[in-house]
Structure 1
Amino acid sequence: MPKAVRYDEFGGIDVLRVDDVERPVPADGQVLVRVRAAGINPSEAAIRTGAVAQIFPSTFPSGQGSDLAGVVEEVGTGVGGFSPGDEVIGFSNKRASQAELVLVEAGDLTRKPEKVSWEVAGSLYVVGVTAWGAVHAVQPREGETVVISGAAGGVGSLAVQVARRTGATVIGLAGEGNHEWLKSHGVIPVAYGDGVADRIRAAAPSGVDAFIDTFGQGYVELALALGVAAERIDTIADFAAAAKYGVKTDGGSAAGPGAEVLAELAGLIADGHLEVPIANVYPLAQVREAYTELERRHTHGKIVLKP
């Protein structure tokens, strides 16, 4: 029987387990994918604890995960464009991707380019569309300066690269250990912590035009203190501050059709124009260990499960 991540109640990492489940059968318009890689994300941890239950209610037993890449196993009736054996990238809106076999709506899949690794492909959806949506929300332009917090994290490491492609100057807030990586991608690194406002002002003598917050914990207030207009601040992490100050919260939902954005990003990766750093890869059975690392919040890039 195929295996899948499950949990029966809200809670910490210890509620996660890997179960034997029935083999899924594709309905009309669905594709059964044998998963080769599935990324993990902080939003999944928040859903699992029940912290966002009012926004994302759960039914139990619950699966987990959105990101996936794999090989088409079977197609349902009415599916055109995909055949068994095709290599695909996609996403599940059913909290189901952390499994050996996953049912995916055909419209939520795109082809995996040969030059994109399974690990990168399988962890692209959430961070990719979120970074794409956040950058488009603040609309950085050539000659402007944009600051991005959490610049070496899963979303941040892609957002700095997408923002650079607009021609804007990008300042990335990150720990010292990630400064060389940021420099190598044309980003001005600035250390977070005490005195960060002064360090940003020194790095941006003409001022800051836009700010993307991927981390939370006071960065919306920092952006306002730096003189950034509320409509050019986007946070994907601090919704209380967004409500208080009227800043944007655009992420994945603002990116448009997910499969189209995935196809665009995958093409840029295949052509060498974008990089998705992979921090670590765990077998599906070690899902608890994977989330333990993720929830320390100091990961450079993506953590991936491989069924």
Structure 2
Amino acid sequence: MRAVQFTEYGPPGVVHVADVEAPHAGPGEIRVAVRVSGVASGEVRIRSGALREVVPVTFPFRTGFDAAGVVDEVGAGVTGVGVGDEVFGMTTTAMRGANADFAILAAWAPKPAAWSWEEAGGAAGSVETATRVLDRLAVRAGHTVLIQGAAGAVGTIAVQLAVGRGATVIGTASEHNHDILRALGAEPTTYGAGLAERVRVLAPAGVDAVFDCAGGSLPDLIAIAGDPARVVTIADLTAAAYGVHLSHGAPSDNTGAAVGAGADPLAVHGLAIAVTLAGEGRLRVPVAAAFPLAEAAAAHELSESRHAPGKIVLVS
């Protein structure tokens, strides 16, 4: 089968499609014939070498954490799903390899009828991440939440999940993405100098929690929140120096120790929540671009530009 991988650190051009042996579903797993899979921004940073000191990898590194497709193998002990079912889901953080013709999923849910394959293929990783952080921040009805970097793959999902909990959401993004945030239910503002003053105008009573999807602004975000314990980042590796929690799901026997914080339990229950919200018309997956699997390098290049609102996906 075809699978996307890289065998050295470097620019997007090191990403390529290779012919590899197809995997098979083990106990508690399913295999899907992949229709669409997601491009993970974290893997883009891994590929560049930016995370080599905190995320050790073994080459070749096969990419892809989330995918949607049709079940074609069911492992021992798996119930409630069968061959031919349409699902979306995620691999384990240790295995990955979803950017391929076939992928092994460790967590999954039925593909919502309202979602295209492109939406479903890019959904699971962002849903899990957003749910994990909103759970840690205990976001609930009546809260006001600031999401820094709200127009990205995780941010757009986090906005909708927070709104689904009954929270008021303020989202930062470039001005040309503000209409996107409004459509998702957030009050948009720009990031950068003066953010605290802009947020104060939008939320005179203050914010209850801050979800940082962008990195690089922790002192300002802490000042807005009033307490580093009310800020969680998924993007800033300097978090520990500020007393902020860095949430990640990487295996704790490698990345966890290096970044100074153990992995959080994966919030796979978020997939079922996403199915419910999608069925109610309250959760869509903004797709920035879809590339053929063979053009994975171009997808990495677009992701690295950080100018893509929503999720970048690969079509198998």
TM-score, with normalisation over the residues of structure 2? 0.88
Alignment correspondent of 2:84? 85
SS in 2 for 1:58: coil
Amino acid at match of 1:24: P
Amino acid at match of 1:221: P
**Deviation digits for residues 179-208 of structure 1, max 9, x if unmatched?**
122223332111123322222222222223
Whether 2:99 is the aligned partner of 1:98: answer yes
Deviation for aligned residue 1:170: 1.5
CA distance in 2, matches of 1:157, 1:58: 29
Alignment correspondent of 1:305? 314
Whether 2:244 is the aligned partner of 1:214: answer no
Alignment correspondent of 2:120? 121
Amino acid at match of 2:170: I
More displaced, 24-33 or 183-192?
24-33
Assess if the C-alpha contact under 8 Å between 2:131 and 2:267 holds in 1. Answer: no
**Deviation digits for residues 226-256 of structure 1, max 9, x if unmatched?**
252111111111131x201212223556464
**5+ residue gaps, structure 1:** none
CA distance in 2, matches of 1:114, 1:298: 29
The 1:303/1:224 distance shift into structure 2, 3 A limit, reads: same
Decide which of 244, 247, 251 is 1:250's aligned counterpart. 247
Assess if the C-alpha contact under 8 Å between 1:145 and 1:209 holds in 2. Answer: yes
Deviation for aligned residue 1:92: 1.3
Assess if the C-alpha contact under 8 Å between 1:146 and 1:170 holds in 2. Answer: yes
CA distance in 2, matches of 1:34, 1:299: 27
The 1:24/1:163 distance shift into structure 2, 3 A limit, reads: closer
CA distance in 2, matches of 1:245, 1:83: 47
The 1:9/1:139 distance shift into structure 2, 3 A limit, reads: same
Deviation for aligned residue 1:141: 4.1
More displaced, 60-69 or 203-212?
203-212
The 1:251/1:292 distance shift into structure 2, 3 A limit, reads: same
CA distance in 1, matches of 2:232, 2:72: 39
CA distance in 1, matches of 2:3, 2:10: 18
> How many correspondences in the alignment?
301
SS in 2 for 1:239: coil
CA distance in 1, matches of 2:25, 2:143: 48
Alignment correspondent of 1:155? 154
**Deviation digits for residues 86-106 of structure 1, max 9, x if unmatched?**
11111112121000012334x
Paired-residue identity, % = 42
CA distance in 1, matches of 2:24, 2:185: 47
CA distance in 2, matches of 1:215, 1:257: 20
CA distance in 1, matches of 2:11, 2:38: 19
The ranges of structure 1 where at least 4 consecutive aligned residues each deviate by more than 6 angstroms after the TM superposition are none
More displaced, 154-163 or 111-120?
111-120
SS in 2 for 1:11: coil
Assess if the C-alpha contact under 8 Å between 1:137 and 1:232 holds in 2. Answer: no
Alignment correspondent of 2:39? 40
**5+ residue gaps, structure 2:** 250-262
CA distance in 1, matches of 2:72, 2:166: 42
Matches within 5 A, 1:1-307: 2-93=1-92, 94-105=95-106, 108-218=107-217, 220-240=218-238, 242-250=239-247, 254=264, 256-258=266-268, 260-307=269-316
Assess if the C-alpha contact under 8 Å between 2:132 and 2:267 holds in 1. Answer: no
Deviation for aligned residue 1:66: 0.5
CA distance in 2, matches of 1:78, 1:198: 54
CA distance in 2, matches of 1:64, 1:150: 23
Deviation for aligned residue 1:142: 3.9
CA distance in 2, matches of 1:217, 1:280: 26
